[in-house]
Chains A and B, each alone.
Chain A
Amino acid sequence: MNNDKLFRQALQRQNDRAANMKMPDDMEQRVMKSLKPQATKRRWLYPISAIAVAACVLLLIMLGIEQKHQPKQLPVIVEEVTEPKNEVQENTLKVVEKDNVDKSQTSHVKLANITREVGQLHTRRLKSSQPTKKSSKAVKVEEPLLAETEPMPEETETTQEYLPTEPDPFLLAAAFSQDIRSRGEHLYQEVAQMINNQ
């Protein structure tokens, strides 16, 4: 390469400019300070990682154990056993349980029985000619019905289990919809009667 001398001189000048850059006095401190979190991180990295893994494994095991011991939500299948109409007071509900049931769930079933019966009685009342009156017949029916219920367990002396302070909203909703349905039917019959009379 010709002008080799010129070329080397150019490189020399470039190097001289770079040589003017002096290392600052605090470079050692800056570097060592940058290393410290690395050293600390490295020292504690493996123990912390091991603890984290162990904690995750323990958590998974605990969750598994908890799910095993959790009482299952029992799917309840309710069958209505219909009795002859002149024996309303003998209508009962049989509950088919899929699994073992404790006493508290038995009381829930009883509550469902009573609420359902109330809804049915109300429907029958609407179908009669005087739906607004609370017939003594209904009262009479209710009394024997209550008498027919199974005796309460001894440990629950209060009626709270059978008549809770707050009724089950789903059962109430079912009774309400049944009520609306029967009113609709009654209305339909009235309209039909009016049309026939015209």
Chain B
Amino acid sequence: MTNDDNIIIERIRGGETSEFAQLVKRYGPSLMVFVGRIVAVQEDTEDVVQNTFVAAYQHLNDYDSQKASVSTWLQRIAYHEALYHLRKRKRQVMLPLNISDDIPDELPEDTTAQQLDEAIQQLSPEDQMLLQLFYFDGRSLKEIAYITGKADDSLNREVSRLSSQLHRIRQKLSIILTHRNHE
């Protein structure tokens, strides 16, 4: 599959634009699920995926097969497009600003599934995507750093940042759930 993707990309770079439809057909459905994790609205998810493919076409020359597969590269673009879309809609997450180190990262004992679902929804889109990529998809921190990092960030710096961020996310969940239980 990877070799086929590289061949298709070389053809598109050579001027055969019509070949790009193959990439859309191949990776469109998975991107819809990927974006739908944080966007959660059908129409918005379609827009984000469409913008992702357009951006991918525009930056086709930036793709490096040595750094990541086509799928991961597209997910990187989709991640940033989704965040941009959500920032435009001004989605805000109400969370305490200061998280001290002594706050536990474990969920309270009496946490229900519904409470946990709602608590995850209160996290920022970045945090939600990080949880999904690490705990659900089982991706490595290096791969997650490639998807979520910015162009000028060093990969190693991003990996070390992610591990502490995962810890912070668990603490946030703990705060949210504890706060709920006291209400």
Residues of A near any B CB (own CB < 8 A): 1-3, 6-15, 17-24, 27-28, 30-32, 34-35, 38-39
Contact = CB atoms under 8 A, between A and B. Distances in A.
B46 A39 contact: no
Given A12-B136, A32-B20, A32-B21, A23 B28 contact: yes
13 contacts: A1-B105, A3-B111, A7-B135, A10-B117, A14-B37, A15-B33, A19-B36, A23-B49, A27-B46, A28-B21, A28-B24, A31-B24, A35-B20
Contact of B36 (A1, A3, A7, A21): A21
Contacts of A15: 33, 37, 132, 136
Where chain A touches its partner, the secondary structure class is helix
Smallest CB-CB A-B distances: 3 pairs: A18-B36, A21-B36, A3-B107
B45 to A, nearest CB: 5
Nearest to B58: A38
Interface string B1-43: 0000000000000000110110011001101111111001010
A30 B25 CA distance: 12
B117 A31 contact: no
Main secondary structure of the interface of B (DSSP, over half): helix
A1 B50 CA distance: 37
A27 B117 contact: no
B113 A31 contact: no
B128 interface: yes
B120 interface: yes
Contacts of A13: 113, 117
B57 A2 contact: no
B120 A10 contact: yes
B86 to A, nearest CB: 14
Interface string B121-133: 0000000100110
Contacts of B37: 14-15, 18
A21 to B, nearest CB: 4
B92 to A, nearest CB: 19
Given A11-B120, A21-B33, A6 B42 contact: no
Given A11-B132, A15-B37, A38-B54, A27 B116 contact: no
Nearest to A34: B54
Contacts of B117: 10, 13-14
A66 B36 CA distance: 64
B132 A31 contact: no
A1 B128 CA distance: 17
A9 B107 contact: no
B128 A14 contact: yes
Nearest to B136: A11
Contacts of B21: 28, 31-32
Contacts of A38: 54, 57-58
Nearest to B121: A14
A21 B116 contact: no
B53 interface: yes
A11 B135 contact: yes
Contacts of A18: 32-37, 40
A7 B57 contact: no
B64 interface: no
B33 A27 contact: no
A6 B54 contact: no
A39 B17 contact: yes
Given A21-B36, A23-B49, A6 B111 contact: yes
A7 B33 contact: no
Given A11-B135, A14-B120, A34-B53, 17 more contacts: A1-B170, A6-B116, A13-B113, A14-B128, A14-B132, A15-B37, A15-B136, A18-B33, A18-B37, A20-B36, A23-B46, A23-B49, A32-B17, A34-B54, A35-B54, A35-B57, A38-B54
